[in-house]
Structure 1
């Protein structure tokens, strides 16, 4: 019972993800991270991590958009 029961498929045969939903989800998560900086806490160490996480999410969306615009990514 190794892998004989599973169908072998290549990556291009799999169902692609919904790009709009993924982009919207990343932007919503970035907004939620930024909203978590508002609160009743004294130290601002966690704010750095929240802002960096939000910035990385937005950067990923922008890079994905640029690569797809220039035809370097499917």
Structure 2
């Protein structure tokens, strides 16, 4: 009987990408999640500065929220199996 299951190709061919032999072609989600959290905290840390106006504060907060939302969306999607 014919199966409807799709075989997924997960490996990178070292003929196409020579650096794949060293593992450089793999995406490590945990690293990117850590970077996302670090960037969020760094943007929020920049709120304390020598600027007088608060426009910069609003821009920093908006970017921090966007980075955090993208990080949480990616983490949640990978956890639920929506993103591979």
Q: Give the shorter-chain TM-score range.
A: 0.7 to 0.9
- Which of 71, 81, 84 does residue 61 from structure 1 map onto? 71
**Structure 2 partner of 1:27:** 37
Q: 1:12 to 1:53 in 2, by over 3 A?
A: farther
Q: 2: CA distance between counterparts of 1:45 and 1:12?
A: 47
Specify which structure has the bigger relative contact order, considering alpha-carbon pairs within 8 angstroms and separated by 6 or more residues: 1
Q: 2: CA distance between counterparts of 1:23 and 1:49?
A: 22
Structure 1: 5+ residue stretches without partners:
1-9
RMSD over equivalenced CA pairs, Å: 1.9
Per the TM alignment, residue 26 of structure 1 is displaced from its structure 2 partner at its CA by 1.1
Q: What stretches of structure 1 move > 3 A for 4+ residues in a row? A: none
Between 50-59 and 64-73, the greater mean CA deviation after superposition: 64-73
**Structure 1 partner of 2:53:** 43
Aligned residues: 65
Per the TM alignment, residue 18 of structure 1 is displaced from its structure 2 partner at its CA by 1.4
